């Protein structure tokens, strides 16, 4: 009789150790914190894995290495994620504009990562798609701004699609105006 509770206790202890070793229990957020720190002290963020963690949380890491578990639906969380995306934008773009090695054929024109940063569409000049898997590993829409900067965007977001449609309409209108001027001359 005493062997069944003892075996159960040993099994529970082994399962907890296994889950902790695989990063399950020890790294997952157990609850959301209401902590709202100044965004300037945030270093990075990531989304917790849905398959291994009970909560779907966004985890921020501060410059001192502290973790903050936040709800992905919280306004502070969304604006802080956008802030970090914008803060890291120019670093990502400098990675994009690096000169290629001779061994890296074609990768200099490829986006290495996409950003969630949004600019007002009146600041956009043109765009093109990066979707050839033989040349580039990341599928992106690359926007060219009026200051000739490149913005690598996720192709399936609403912002990307509406910005592409805006530029298509703007370019169509410019072509029509140019065509009418040629007819008048």
The residue with greater pLDDT, 170 or 110, is: 110
Average pLDDT, the chain: 75
For residue 105, what pLDDT band results from cuts at 50, 70 and 90?
A: very low
Cα separation, 60 vs 97, in Å, equals: 28
pLDDT at 68: 94
**Residue 127, token pair as written in the block:** 């765009």
Q: Do the beta carbons of residue 92 and residue 101 sit within 8 Å? A: no
For residue 167, what pLDDT band results from cuts at 50, 70 and 90?
A: confident
- The single residue listed with the structure tokens 């690598």 is 152
Give CB contacts under 8 A, 24+ apart, made by 171-174.
171/126
Query: Hey, how many other C-beta atoms are within 10 angstroms of the C-beta on 138?
Result: 15
For residue 130, what pLDDT band results from cuts at 50, 70 and 90?
A: confident
Q: What are the structural domains, with CATH classification, of the chain?
A: 30-87 (2.40.50.40), 107-184 (2.40.50.40)
For residue 103, what pLDDT band results from cuts at 50, 70 and 90?
A: very low
In terms of Cβ atoms closer than 10 Å to its own Cβ (0-12, 13-18, 19+), residue 43 is: middle
Per-residue pLDDT for 69 more than 90? yes
**Residue 11, token pair as written in the block:** 């099994």
Cα separation, 63 vs 78, in Å, equals: 19
% pLDDT > 90, the chain: 11
3-state secondary structure of 141: strand
**CA 52 from centre of chain:** 21
């Amino acid at each position: 009789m005493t062997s069944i509770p003892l075996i159960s206790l040993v099994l529970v202890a082994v399962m907890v150790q296994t889950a902790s070793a695989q990063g399950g229990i020890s790294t997952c957020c157990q609850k959301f914190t209401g902590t709202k720190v100044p965004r300037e002290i945030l270093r990075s963020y990531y989304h917790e894995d849905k398959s291994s963690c009970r909560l779907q949380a966004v985890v921020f890491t501060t410059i001192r290495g502290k973790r903050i578990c936040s709800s992905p639906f919280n306004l502070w969380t969304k604006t802080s994620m956008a802030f970090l995306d914008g803060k890291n934008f120019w670093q990502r773009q400098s990675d994009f504009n690096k000169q290629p090695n001779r061994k890296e054929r074609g990768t200099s024109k490829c986006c290495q990562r996409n950003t969630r940063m949004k600019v007002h569409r009146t600041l956009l000049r043109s765009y093109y798609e990066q979707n050839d898997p033989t040349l580039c590993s990341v599928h992106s829409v690359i926007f060219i701004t009026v200051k000739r900067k490149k913005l690598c965007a996720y192709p399936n977001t609403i912002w990307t699609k509406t910005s592409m449609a805006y530029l298509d309409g703007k370019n169509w209108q410019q072509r029509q105006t140019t065509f009418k001027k040629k007819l008048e001359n």
